[in-house]
Chain A
Amino acid sequence: MTAGAGRFGEWLPSAAVFVLVIGAWEGLSRLLNVQSFLLPRPTLIAGQLIELWPTTLARGIAFTASEAIGGLLAGLVTGTLAGLATARWQTARETLLPVGIAASTVPIIAFAPITINWFGPESALPRVIIVAAMVFFPVMVNTIRGLTQVDPAALELMASYAASETATLRKVRIPNALPYWFTALRIATTLSVIGAVVGEFFGGPLYSLGIYITNQTSISDYPKAWAAIVLACALGIAFYVLAVAAERLVLPWNAARETVR
């Protein structure tokens, strides 16, 4: 069996379920004559998507995506660095980890109005900060776990080579942490889109997806709101797929090992 056939077989069931759900949605909506302000039919949403794409949605998704990407990158960098520092220095572990845990319990979204107050609703910065704060914690925790949950025998092996801390970090701890880090990346990609869209509910440019969704629902134009929601979903899925692709690219051995075991 070729790898291509295997991958196709892997995706087929979920693709079938997806098509079935959309089909049932469309069919039942027509059959039961569901009003479009309650739940618009998929074809209606698709029509809105095509119609609104050139005028508003393309600009909206670009803006929301830039917020999500900006926040994602900021959160990944700070979370990874905090994780490295925490795993490397005992004092950092004792001071940073409680702060990190405390910070993770704060409902970050509640800070959206405050960050908007700081930078103004037109700026992307309030959402970048929100997304970065949401992404930071899972990235830090997974980085620490990957760096510290190392086979003790591997550390003894490095000790037997009189390897320096830096060499141990580079040859054992970081490679060991990479699968954990990529798991965090997957979580972070979906969080980033949620953070950006929900952050926009509290204020943002008129064309941003979050504001567009709230405005259309307030004037009861639900098919338009749904079109923007579908687009936000697509953005999240695209990010996730990119994260998985990046993982396969960087850690080919990990994917191969999983298929063997």
Chain B
Amino acid sequence: MTDLQPRSASPAAASRAVVEAAGVTKIFGSGDAAVAALETIDLSIREGEFVSLIGPSGCGKSTLLRLIGDLTAPSAGDVRVNGKPARQARLDRDYGMVFQAPVLMDWRSVARNIELPLEIMGFSREERTRRSAELLRLVELEGFEARHPWQLSGGMQQRVAIARALAFDPKLLLMDEPFGALDEMTRERMNLELMKIWGRTGTTIVFVTHSIPEAVFLSTRVAVMSARPGRITKIVDVDLAQPRTVDTREDRRYFELVTEVRETLRRHEPQGAIEEVEADRIRAEGLG
């Protein structure tokens, strides 16, 4: 089993757990077609942390995020958010979610997209307007409130999605490859902006990515996962100085950590590849 507590004496170690997953297993399908997307995952995320989930496709990193958000239910094990069952936390609106696609409503202006959760949660009109203005400032989109989503670039659309997720001030932000569809330049700029937002709001963030540099740059801890079945193979503590800036990417320690994550991923790759070849052979010979 992996050591899940932060090894360094970070201030986060003293604060309470926001996410606790214990023995979480997720199986898709049943019988012979059953696929274990996740197997006995244990993970604890403390308040104010920024934890990235990284791994090859099919390692269940998005599934794990969706389990935390109660958008899917575990086959076994227990997920708790803010000390409550994940379902209760969702009903209490404890987290904001950002998907890979911005998922903005074309019929709503930028400001009204940000206000969508506030409308559903019954905030007053004045409060909605005040908050959307404040969030537009936070994501640096002042002056765009009356635009419609299709009039914005991909990066701007994703900033609107982040503002919307933060609109109701959730203590937890779940992000599922939010910058995966953006070009490298935009992604790096968005990473810097996300760091600024995280620094100002202090929100706990769980972040799914398949980019190693992105995971290292953003996170306080990186959970490295392997596929078939999905497991957390190692948790890498990122002891880079805060706040992270453009200079962080020039830091020697940054490169060491990138290498460490990459090698952890690679160590678990051949085994997976062999398993896959083996599975193909069995299928080909009609033994499966």
Q: Contact check: which of B96, B106, B119, B151 meets A160 at CB < 8 Å?
A: B96
Whether B151 pairs with A260 at a CB distance below 8 angstroms is yes
Within 72-126 of B, Cβ neighbours of A (below 8 Å) are at 90-93, 95-97, 99, 101, 103, 105-107, 116-117, 119-121
A162 vs B70: C-alpha distance when bound (angstroms): 10
Q: Is A24 an interface residue (CB 8 A)?
A: no
Q: Contact check: which of B93, B103, B107 meets A151 at CB < 8 Å?
A: B103
How far does the Cβ of B179 sit from chain A's closest Cβ, in whole Å?
A: 16
Q: How many residues of A contact B (CB 8 A)?
A: 23
Q: Is B282 an interface residue (CB 8 A)?
A: no
Q: Is B69 an interface residue (CB 8 A)?
A: yes
Whether A157 pairs with B150 at a CB distance below 8 angstroms is no
A178 vs B106: C-alpha distance when bound (angstroms): 12
| A160 touching B71 in the complex, CB below 8 Å, given contacts A153-B101, A175-B105, A260-B150 | yes
Residues of B within 8 A of A167 (CB): 120
Q: Annotate A127-146 by CB proximity to B: 1 below 8 A, 0 otherwise.
A: 00000000000000000000
| A162 touching B90 in the complex, CB below 8 Å, given contacts A251-B107, A257-B106 | yes
Whether A157 pairs with B93 at a CB distance below 8 angstroms is no
Q: Is A221 an interface residue (CB 8 A)?
A: no
Residues of A within 8 A of B92 (CB): 162
Whether B71 pairs with A256 at a CB distance below 8 angstroms is no
Closest to B104 in A: A154
How far does the Cβ of A159 sit from chain B's closest Cβ, in whole Å?
A: 6
Q: Is B171 an interface residue (CB 8 A)?
A: no
Q: Contact check: which of B71, B121, B150 meets A159 at CB < 8 Å?
A: B71
Closest to B66 in A: A156
A167 vs B119: C-alpha distance when bound (angstroms): 9
A233 vs B114: C-alpha distance when bound (angstroms): 47
Whether A161 pairs with B121 at a CB distance below 8 angstroms is yes
Whether A161 pairs with B93 at a CB distance below 8 angstroms is yes
Closest to B109 in A: A253
Extra A-B contacts (18), CB below 8 Å, given A253-B148, A257-B148:
A153-B99, A153-B103, A154-B103, A156-B71, A157-B97, A158-B120, A159-B90, A160-B90, A160-B97, A161-B93, A161-B117, A161-B120, A162-B90, A162-B93, A163-B120, A171-B105, A171-B120, A175-B105
Q: Which residues of B contact A (CB under 8 A)?
A: 69, 71, 90-93, 95-97, 99, 101, 103, 105-107, 116-117, 119-121, 148, 150-151
User: Can you spell out 9 A-B residue pairs with CB atoms less than 8 angstroms apart?
Assistant: A154-B103, A157-B97, A160-B96, A161-B116, A161-B117, A161-B120, A253-B106, A254-B107, A261-B150
